[in-house]
Amino acid sequence: MEFISQNIFLITIAVISGLALLLPLLRDARNHATHVSPAQAVMLMNRQNAVIVDVRETTEFAAERIEGSRNIPAGELAGRVKELEKFKSRPLILTCASGARSARAIGTLRKEGFAQVYNLGGGIKGWKDAGQPIAAGKRT
């Protein structure tokens, strides 16, 4: 007990340091549960009729997109969530240019009760790098 009382400052720093090392690991474990690779996305599309929701801006979507995807820009998602209600029982795969905007958009859909929401790892860039087809032209 005397050791603890004399070294409380060092013990506190050690505990805080340990927690600081664990937090990124816990955060990564949570994020990997919601990320899917392009191959996993294709399996979800083929086996469970997953819906691709592209949260990039309309101009980005018009330049290139995943065939059959729907465009709802991230900034409009909260106001347009009703458009996705009919897909609530199906997996939704969100995508953007690199995966950052779509990762943030997952929270919006989860708050609205969507249980099966995934982020396409790497976004459109990851999709293309995996050799998956890209379509041109706008579709909503």
Give 29-56 pLDDT, tens digit per residue: 454 458 999 999 999 999 999 999 999 9
In this predicted structure, what is the pLDDT of residue 34?
A: 86
Confidence of residue 1 (pLDDT cuts 50, 70, 90): confident
pLDDT of residue 140: 47
Length of the chain: 140
Average pLDDT over residues 77-99: 95
CA distances from 29 to 22, 23, 38, 108, 131 (A): 11, 10, 19, 20, 27
pLDDT at 136: 79
Could you report how far apart the first and last alpha carbons of the chain are, in Å? 67
